[in-house]
Amino acid sequence: MVCLGNICRSPLAEGIMQHLADKAGLDWQVDSAGTGDWHVGQGPDRRSVKAAADEGIDISKQVCRLFRTLDFDEFDLILVMDKSNLSNVLAMARNDEDRKKVKMLLGDKVVPDPYYDDNQFAPVFKLIEAGCKEIIKQYS
């Protein structure tokens, strides 16, 4: 799961997807990363922590990290939140095999960045949750 800062959207996506996959009995390992390095080493934004906790998911122990080329080798699927994440990640792809792993979580729709709007965290949770359910249906 990849977004820009790895403190708002992708930590939610990691927590939600891992929760749903575990619940479905799938042996999936979910991780998240950002393409920007401002928050590396920090925990998720407290508003994301709260939005997840309100739905029974604890994301407070996650630690922000940068997306790296090695992720193309370690993961089967790389889900990004918006078109800018998409071009940032594709710019790091080494070949078609890497490129094929990269998709937007919501298909042709984007998960908007809630960073500047406190009221967007709960709706963004729901959008991400719907996207994760769709991915589970598609890939499980």
Using rule CB under 6 A, residue 6 touches ligand 4NP: yes
Give 20 or 59: the residue with its C-beta nearer to ligand 4NP.
59
For residues 40 and 64, the answer to whether their CB atoms sit within 8 Å is: yes
Active-site option among 45, 71, 82, 113: 113
**Residue 3 is among the residues annotated as catalytic for this protein:** yes
Q: Does 2 bind ligand 4NP (CB under 6 A)?
A: no
Site string for ligand 4NP, 24-63 (x = CB under 6 A): --------------x-------------------------
From the number of C-beta atoms within 10 Å of its C-beta (0-12, 13-18, 19+), residue 55 rates as middle
Contact at 8 Å (CB) between 2 and 80?
yes
Nearest to residue 1, comparing CAs of 86, 118, 73, 124?
86
Catalytic residue flag (residue 113): yes
Catalytically active residues, by annotation: 3, 9, 113
